[in-house]
Amino acid sequence: MTTIAHIFDGQHYEQVVDLSRLQGLVSRPGVHVWLDTDERTEALDKILREVFHLHPLVIEDLYEDSATPKVEDWGDYLYIVMHGVRTEPGDRVEVSPLELDLILGIDWLFTHRTSPIGCIEALIAELNRNPRALARGPAFVAHALLDKLADLYVPVVEAIDETVDGIEKAVIDDPHPELLETILELKRAVQWLRRMSVYQRDITQRLSRGEFEQIPEAALAFYRDVYDQFVRVTDLAESNREMLGVVLQVHFTVTANRTNDAMKALTLISAILLPMTFVAGIYGMNFKHMPELDWRWGYPSALGIMLLIALSFYTYFKRKNWI
């Protein structure tokens, strides 16, 4: 667990772990600070209270899991909650949420997450090569994080899209029970993706409209690009959700048709065998005075009658296109 401060003083970029240095740096003209952490300590809480001047409710919310993304304007800073996504290893497509909390001030940015998020490591690697984003201001760092967060959704949605295409073909050929379970799991995943993408689409739209002073006009176009990405993800998720609904209905229809075919076959077999059973029942009765009991050709005649009945019913059903 680590807490790292990324500092750009107008000429130099450095990473520090000594939080006491932030006391004189935050809000100093020309200095941009990004504090990133995945832990909670007393020293960190003190920095949030005394240096960043965060409201106690915001500090508490930072460390609580939020079910939905949101953006809140607290005057001097914005509190933004966003969710990334990752796929779980395995044959099935399973998604897990990744929460990222951002607090954006005019000259500083604070981020908190409870689990590793690839966009954080990727951005740190970029800053090590070129601190341009931090040099332009915390709003550009926040945009870079949101942009990489949106990028996490695209391969997941595309993988689900390919899986849905495969299921669409398989559901007609072999609608087995395991396939139904896969469809329902995908449906839950797509519903979550759609809900998250809709929330985050609306949040990035607000961020791109110049509604908040923490985001300068020069950064608005970049936030509109993130908004466009979430629009695309939302459209793909909505398309997959509708397609899964259709596939689910097709699965039920194909299964019902196969059940009907089986019942039809059993009914036809019963219809053919029932008259034959009647004939066998007649000649199976043990009455002494039955005319055909002493007849030499009685047994083969009875079998012939049964065969004739079976052929007659089969021909009739065939002409009716029932078989």
First vs last C-alpha separation in the chain: 70
CA distance 199 to 180: 29
For 153, how many CA atoms within 13 A lie in the half-sphere containing its CB?
A: 31
Q: Specify the 3-state DSSP secondary structure of 119.
A: helix
**pLDDT tens sequence across 120-137:** 888 888 888 888 878 888
Is the Cβ–Cβ distance between 194 and 234 less than 8 Å? yes
CA distance 269 to 79: 71
Structure confidence at residue 176 (pLDDT): 74
Tokens 């797509």, residue located: 190
**pLDDT tens sequence across 246-261:** 888 877 777 777 777 7
Q: Specify the 3-state DSSP secondary structure of 284.
A: coil
**pLDDT tens sequence across 222-247:** 999 999 999 999 998 888 888 888 88
Regarding beta strands 108-113 and 95-104, do their DSSP bridges make them parallel or antiparallel, or are they unpaired?
antiparallel
User: Above 90 in pLDDT, residue 58?
Assistant: yes
Which span out of 148-162, 219-233, 308-322 was modeled with the highest average pLDDT? Answer: 219-233
Structure confidence at residue 322 (pLDDT): 66
Domains of the chain and CATH, by start = 3-255 (3.30.460.20), 263-319 (1.20.58.340)
According to DSSP, residue 71 is labeled E
Bigger pLDDT: 250 vs 139: 139
Residue 185, both tokens: 């799991």
Percent helix, strand, coil in the chain (nearest 5)?
60, 15, 25
Tokens 């003190």, residue located: 46
DSSP result, 217-230: HHHHHHHHHHHHHH
CA distance 191 to 175: 22
Closest to 22 measured CA to CA, from 42, 50, 2: 50
